Amino acid sequence: MSLSIIGNWKSNGSLESNKSWIHDFKYSINDSEISNVAICPPFTYLDQMISLTSNLGLSIGSQDIDSSSGARTGSISVNACKDIGCCFSIVGHSERREIFDESNMFLRQKLITAQESGFQVIFCIGEPKEQQLAGTTNNFLEKQIIESLSDLELLDGFTIAYEPIWAIGTGEIPDVKDINATHKFIKDIVQSSSKNNFTPNVLYGGSVTSKNAEVLFKEKYIDGALIGGASLNGKEFAEIVNIFKNRGF
């Protein structure tokens, strides 16, 4: 299953606000067919959200997984996520890379562990502001891809999320033509470096809202979005989904 619109709630939500989110989303979505839409709440709310979304068609994923299991205090294993009903996980979000110092090789092991269990992965890459200003974005992204994915056989549903670090939560996004070109570059590098010449869907992330979603989704190589702040509002998230569904191709 390929996921197109994913909400990453990060460390937000509560038992009551989650119920309100579901109500707002349910009565704002135009199309009952939303099987390619997902949200990633904090681990503590996974069970609640899986229960609340059981009749909506929304997929529920984790925001991260560990590369192993057992004596790993505080970590969440792939099997634990699967056992509770998750079908995928985000891996390599820039906040995990920066705050928890997760390297490309460490994220590669997470991906391998997930794929060995048949668990779908949304793999995040993205450049900091200095790389964007220097015009070396492609070099930076290629290094992330090669070190993390080279010579791996990627499974159906494996997806890249391209999130320029400088655009996350800032309200600033690159020119959509530049995003589209970067997405094509990412597809080409993944295809040429993976063992099975896999061409992934590539989602865009970084200050996506209902105000800029339409122009983003008109681009050929933008296959959807990984949404942070805007996903915390059920109505706003539903509107982005509605825009994606009506993009015209």
Token pair 């920066």 in the structure block, residue = 98
Burial of 247 per CB tally in 10 Å (0-12, 13-18, 19+): middle
Catalytic amino acids? 93, 163
CA geometry: angle at 108 spanning 106 and 109, to 5°?
70
State the Cα–Cα distance between residues 104 and 124, nearest whole angstrom: 11
**In one letter, which amino acid is 119?**
F
b/e sequence 4-20, b meaning 16+ C-beta within 10 Å: bbbbbbbeebeeeebee
Burial of 151 per CB tally in 10 Å (0-12, 13-18, 19+): exposed
